[in-house]
Amino acid sequence: MYMFQGGFETFALLIIVLAVVVLWSTVKVVPQGYNYTVENFGRYTRTLQPGLNILVPVMERIGAKMNMKEQVIDIPSQDIITRDNAMVTVDGVNFYQVLNAAKASYEVDQLQSSIINLTMTNIRTVMGSMDLDELLSNRDTINAKLLQVVDAATEAWGVKVTRIEIKDIAPPRDLVDSMARQMKAERDKRAQILEAEGLRQAAVLKAEGEKQAVMLAAEGRREAAFRDAEARERAAQAEAKATEMVSDSIAKGSVQAINYFVANNYVKAL
């Protein structure tokens, strides 16, 4: 009887321990930034939010643990032929965020691989429809087109593509050398044009300065001649006035005036 009672207590203890283990296994703590999907006998039923959650024992289990934070994946480099038949090597990055954990888990298999392949395909489509010059100068336009197309395609997967950035566009080496020579020729041409423009401007300024100098000199000579003539005119007027006064005095019989007139003519004769 004692042995039977001891065995029963052991069995009861095992049952209690097993029950505690089972109950504890149904308690799930979801960390911040994650969502867990719950499956009931293999079928999706609900999504667990961050915090403490309880599952139904035996019937429910965790299906997928989905990262809900914004993530970045590298897009491998690939060769692309542009519309003008130039081959370039292109790579990039894709920023995305899972908005619906259930769709991201069950609507697509291998989410990141699918996003990478979708992005690479659209990079070939978008950049292959452009000329090389457009490709090198309109990177923002390319990024915007890729974002629009890829984001629309991944919406059914519960994913929001926030940014797509083209990191590097590498043309062939011979094409790079040709572009470098072309740029050097353009810079030399601009330098020569600027130099010629500077020389022309200097010549214009010099001619303008010489013109101003000649005009100022002529103005000075004209002013000097005018003042010289004015001085002679005033001297002539003074002499005429003096002569008139002397003549009047002589006419009146003034001895001093006669002496002045004789002395003045004597000085002029000397």
HSE-up (13 A, CA, CB side) for residue 70: 8
- How far apart (Å, rounded) are the C-alpha atoms in residues 176 and 170? 9
Q: What angle do CA 67, 36, 70 make, to 5 degrees?
A: 15
pLDDT (tens digit, 9 = 90+) per residue, 82-115? 888 888 999 999 999 999 999 999 999 999 999 9
- How far apart (Å, rounded) are the C-alpha atoms in residues 232 and 163? 94
Largest CA distance in the chain: 191
**Model's pTM, two decimal places?**
0.61
pLDDT (tens digit, 9 = 90+) per residue, 145-178? 999 999 999 999 999 999 999 998 888 777 666 7
Task: Bin 251: left if φ > 0, else alpha if -120 < ψ < 50, else beta.
Answer: alpha
- The per-residue pLDDT for 116 is 95
> In one letter, which amino acid is 52?
L
pLDDT (tens digit, 9 = 90+) per residue, 188-246? 788 888 888 888 888 888 888 888 888 888 887 788 777 777 777 777 677 777 677 76
pLDDT value at 2 more than 50: no
